[in-house]
Structure 1
Amino acid sequence: MQKCNLAVDIGASSGRVIAGYLENGKLILDEIHRFENKMEEKNGHLCWNIDRLFQEIKTGIKQSITQQYQPITIGIDTWAVDFVLLDQEKKRITDAVAYRDHRTDGVMEEVFQHIDKQKIYQDTGIQFQPFNTIYQLFALKKENPDIFKEAAHFLMVPDYLHYLLTGIITNEYTNATTTQLLNAKDKKWNSSFLEILGIPNDLFAEPKEPLQQIGMLTKELQEELGTNLKVVLPGTHDTASAVMSVPSKETIYISSGTWSLMGVEHDEPISTSQAFNYNFTNEGGADGNFRFLKNIMGLWMIQEVKREWNDQISFIEFVDLAYQTKDFSSTVDVNDQRFLSPSSMNQAIQKYCQETDQSIPETAGQFAKCIFDSLVNSYDQTAKEIEQLTGKSYDTIHIIGGGSKNNYMNEKLAKVSGKKIYTGPGEATAIGNLIAQMITTGQIKSVEESKQIINQSFDIQKF
């Protein structure tokens, strides 16, 4: 049987359990189990079915054994900001409400009446998004103030899934930074913010750095699954794991998926007034540095357009249609909040174009070209802002994740930015998750060695 590490990578639309192992200096990946993930209406809110996600993780572990693997470690990463609360008995007492739910509408502005906006940014270094955990917690308190009398533990989604595996409660650092409740410099929870908002400080465990072991599977799971695994903390925020797979540190990166996360790795947080004005964020990195980046709406827009076309057009076909639609040039501001969770993405784009006196897209190709061109414009502008804020120029942009396969955007970005564009690996998040596990267990000696392995293992394209 082949020994392996298991990366559980769950995104907003799907999850995977991927086996990884080293062979002749290369990292080999094998997708063991893929499953759907989606938001569901529950108790008046959009929620994640977190119990089903845990069942899928167990299925993935079982299937790895069926497929003649001997898993030795497992680690989980997901999207950021969403959470659950547990009571004193460690029973879950809240749903895993999704960040696209409308419970936070207007809440961010309400919080600014209690805490100065610039103070929040200076302390946390985190960009303002209406769904950040700080605003979700305040929305929960408004809706159900008594919940905090019952609550004893705060766990973000991957923290909760790790808890179900081990029975051990952790608040992993990289994801904790996305709450906008963690001080960037001392990496501790901001007790003054929590006190002002009336949220108990003792809900939060001291943030635990990634690249270390949490524990072993519970005895019940050992019996159920027929194996015992070490549970290891990767960067549980999927972007933290993804950035671990960028083959070089001296580049601007874009982690391209449902969201586009564009930035650089930096030793210190940058919380200047200009960074505040440009709405940049300083998220924790898996190897102790900071991911200085901007959160851009990303391929969510084309995913929604695809859904409105009843999934009859594939992503590859949308790219082909964009190439063919040469005479359409309308663009939108992809970070306009109207695109976050519209009832119809097609209508939201059309309305924006109408309001800005541009041609209104009608065909699938026109929608695709509008979205892709708009994203490229946002990337180019963000690259200029990064160089201004860091005082450093970059020759390259490296695109990782599923969106790195969109050659229309890759070619257009090379032309517009004048920079060399490198793309790949596509499975960036799972690779970063596996790298973290392998460093923790000593299979890989360092982050520097992992970069060499990634360059040897995966096809990197240049535009």
Structure 2
Amino acid sequence: MKYYLAIDIGASSGRHIVGWKKDEQIHTEELYRFDNGVIEKDNHLIWDVEYLLSEIKKGITIVKKRYNIESLSIATWGVDYVLMKEGQEVFPVYSYRDNRTERIINEVHSIIPFEELYQRTGSQYQPFNTIYQLYDDKKQGRLKGVTDFLMMPEYLLYKLTGVKKKEFTNATTTGMINHESLMFDEMIINKLGMPKILFKKLYQPKEMLGYYDGIKVVLCATHDTASAVEGIPMRDNELYISSGTWSLLGVKTEKPITDINSMKANYSNEGGVGYNRYQKNIMGLWLVNELKKELCPNENIRDIVEKASKSSFEEIINANDSSLLAPESMKDAFDKLLKNKPESIYDYFRCAYNSLALSYKKAIEELEKNTGKTYFNLYIVGGGAKNSFLNSLTEKETGKKVIALPIEATAIGNIKMQMW
């Protein structure tokens, strides 16, 4: 029997998951888990990539003691990257939650209006999109002498193999991929005065990279949502939510949809394995996790959910309000958005769950209008799939049949790419 290793790194944790095929199904076992999170340094939010690499290697060593691994690959969140001068990193490595791009977004849009960017790329507007981060790097002189920018999983895979290759699905989170050519858009690069050397050939999932400690290393769909969608056992093409720190709600389409209504609804078109992912970013369980960290850090999440379900607090907020992206206090951010003050800390959690469910409803209404199709089932994977209270609120609000799958969808999608 052949065993494969999926390394799945999110904004709050990373995991080493071994998978194998038996009776025509992929089975998984988690063997190692480590914490992750942004670090505040010099008034900026950054990633400790040296720590991540050390944890990846530590986990591989542990896995090898149990299994003879055929191959491995890594998937992470999108948009963030490491600048390289040949083999030397340019530090710091900024997090998408840092606010550095606020100073240059208007300048970028004065050079290329967002409407034109959307028509060319189909990428939603988010202040942390790679296009804005890179332009800020240019303005700050950080691109001088730089030969590569490697998206987070590309960088980690490079550190394991010594091979730099840019992967398609993660590249589509940059806001710089032309939706027709499926390559970096030369007009955008030229108009923004970016060094052309940075924008190299894109490779598809399944591409061989090299070896690490005797294990074959390949590209999976390195954007974690792309792997998660690939890991969902859908009978037909249906709605999905990859529910974690972010909630990514969408559907597979044959081609990108870049009309004015999609732009106004802030839907994105991102790469899948042979299809387009028409999806929307919703703030997700970040709201709950930050409230828990602040209000009741030692309480079990199951107890919090149960108490939230008994709360009678019904006021909602805009779950995608920009003030919720990286507040110093999530409670204070909620207080500023609410008209009525919660009486209990669990009222905040009730508000968060109600607000997420309503945001799912609105997003699905927009999606069905823009695609001209009606969907009946909503698949939910990721950590949120285990939250029966949020799932019940979502089913009630959306009117869709919720199929919550507490499976390792990202790892399964990663492993599928390795098996092919």
Query: Same-fold call, TM > 0.5?
Result: yes
- Aligned CA RMSD, in angstroms, stands at 1.3
SS in 2 for 1:182: coil
Q: What is the CA deviation profile of residues 248-287 of structure 1, one whole-angstrom value per residue up to 9, with x for unaligned ones?
A: 14211000000000000011000001101100000000x1
Compute the displacement of 1:44 (Å).
4.1
* Aligned partners of 1:10 and 1:77 also within 8 Å: yes
The counterpart of 1:330, out of the listed 300, 315, 321, is 315
**Which residue in the other structure is 2:389 paired with?**
408
**Which residue in the other structure is 1:17 paired with?**
16
Distance of 1:363 and 1:167 partners within structure 2: 53
Distance of 2:393 and 2:198 partners within structure 1: 47
SS in 1 for 2:208: strand
SS in 1 for 2:338: helix
Distance of 1:237 and 1:361 partners within structure 2: 37
The counterpart of 1:153, out of the listed 148, 151, 156, is 148
SS in 2 for 1:6: strand
* Aligned partners of 1:280 and 1:292 also within 8 Å: yes
Compute the displacement of 1:43 (Å).
4.6
Distance of 2:118 and 2:335 partners within structure 1: 34
Distance of 1:239 and 1:346 partners within structure 2: 28
**Is 1:244 matched with 2:195?**
no
**Which residue in the other structure is 2:36 paired with?**
37
**Which residue in the other structure is 1:86 paired with?**
84
**Is 1:305 matched with 2:303?**
no
Q: What is the CA deviation profile of residues 279-327 of structure 1, one whole-angstrom value per residue up to 9, with x for unaligned ones?
A: 0000000x121110000000000100001025122221221012111x2
* Aligned partners of 2:169 and 2:222 also within 8 Å: yes
**Which residue in the other structure is 1:274 paired with?**
261
- Pairing of 1:342-361 with structure 2 (within 5 A): 342-354=327-339, 359-361=340-342
**Which residue in the other structure is 1:183 paired with?**
178
* Aligned partners of 2:137 and 2:143 also within 8 Å: no
SS in 2 for 1:148: coil
Distance of 1:182 and 1:362 partners within structure 2: 48
Amino acid at match of 2:250: G
* Aligned partners of 2:131 and 2:175 also within 8 Å: yes
**Which residue in the other structure is 2:111 paired with?**
114
SS in 2 for 1:313: coil
**Which residue in the other structure is 2:358 paired with?**
377
Distance of 1:374 and 1:324 partners within structure 2: 16
* Aligned partners of 2:28 and 2:408 also within 8 Å: no
Distance of 1:250 and 1:276 partners within structure 2: 23
**Which residue in the other structure is 1:364 paired with?**
345
Compute the displacement of 1:412 (Å).
1.6
The counterpart of 1:258, out of the listed 240, 245, 251, is 245
* Aligned partners of 2:147 and 2:198 also within 8 Å: yes
**Which residue in the other structure is 2:160 paired with?**
165
Structure 1 gap ranges (5+): 223-227, 440-463
Alignment CA distance shift 1:320-1:254 (3 Å) = same
Amino acid at match of 1:377: L
SS in 1 for 2:190: helix
**Which residue in the other structure is 1:444 paired with?**
none
Q: Greater CA deviation, 100-109 or 293-302? A: 100-109
Distance of 2:398 and 2:43 partners within structure 1: 44
**Which residue in the other structure is 1:58 paired with?**
57
Identity %: 42
* Aligned partners of 1:241 and 1:428 also within 8 Å: yes
**Is 1:418 matched with 2:405?**
no
Divergent runs of 4+, >4 A: none
Compute the displacement of 1:94 (Å).
3.0
Distance of 2:334 and 2:299 partners within structure 1: 18
Amino acid at match of 1:166: T
**Is 1:97 matched with 2:94?**
yes
* Aligned partners of 1:100 and 1:131 also within 8 Å: yes
Structure 2 gap ranges (5+): none
**Which residue in the other structure is 1:139 paired with?**
136
Distance of 2:126 and 2:144 partners within structure 1: 27
Q: What is the CA deviation profile of residues 162-199 of structure 1, one whole-angstrom value per residue up to 9, with x for unaligned ones?
A: 11111111111000000001111111111221222221
Aligned residues: 419
* Aligned partners of 1:211 and 1:232 also within 8 Å: yes
Amino acid at match of 1:25: E
Amino acid at match of 1:353: L
Distance of 2:408 and 2:173 partners within structure 1: 22
Distance of 2:74 and 2:195 partners within structure 1: 27
**Is 1:201 matched with 2:196?**
yes
Compute the displacement of 1:149 (Å).
2.5
**Which residue in the other structure is 1:129 paired with?**
126
* Aligned partners of 2:386 and 2:406 also within 8 Å: no
* Aligned partners of 1:211 and 1:234 also within 8 Å: yes
Distance of 1:373 and 1:310 partners within structure 2: 19
Distance of 1:149 and 1:121 partners within structure 2: 28
Amino acid at match of 2:244: G
